[in-house]
């Protein structure tokens, strides 16, 4: 079984209880994470895409992400509008930033 270490770290640091320290919206938070990392983490994007392929439904994805993050960030099923849509957006947004040269 894969451990999804990049996802664990990203969600724990940037999308956990202190997410508001990095911005008021998800795009602001992601932009802040890019600045903190000094660029786009291509491994994170690949891991998100792999996670989506491995856990294609909200129920499966939320259950697994809760395990991965050890429930430290609350119930992952609550990402709006749903977890699959959020992860798909996150991957696409990071890819867009990559294409724009924001890395």
Residues 6+ apart with CB under 8 A from 43: 6
User: What does the pLDDT read at residue 41?
Assistant: 85
The set of long-range contacts for 58-63, using a CB threshold of 8 Å and a minimum separation of 24, is 58/82, 58/83, 58/84, 61/87
Instruction: List Cβ neighbours of 49 (8 Å cut-off, separation of 6 or more).
Output: 91
pLDDT at site 100: 86
Q: How far is CA 96 from the centre of its chain?
A: 15
Q: What SS3 state is found at 82?
A: coil
CA-CA distances (angstroms) from residue 18 to 65, 80, 83, 97? 18, 17, 19, 23
Structural domain harbouring 83: 5-99
What is the number of structural domains in the chain?
1
- Please list the rounded mean pLDDT of every run of 10 residues in the chain (103 residues): 88 88 94 89 94 96 94 86 96 93 65
């Amino acid at each position: 079984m894969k451990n999804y270490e990049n996802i664990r770290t990203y969600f724990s640091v940037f999308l956990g209880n202190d997410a508001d320290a990095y911005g008021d919206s998800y795009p602001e938070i992601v932009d802040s994470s890019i600045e903190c990392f000094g660029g786009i983490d291509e491994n994170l994007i690949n891991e998100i895409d792999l996670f989506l392929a491995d856990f294609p439904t909200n129920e499966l994805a939320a259950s697994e992400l809760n395990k991965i993050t050890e429930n430290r960030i609350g119930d992952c099923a609550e990402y709006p509008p749903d977890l699959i849509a959020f992860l798909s957006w996150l991957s696409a947004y990071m890819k867009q930033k990559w294409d724009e040269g924001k890395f």
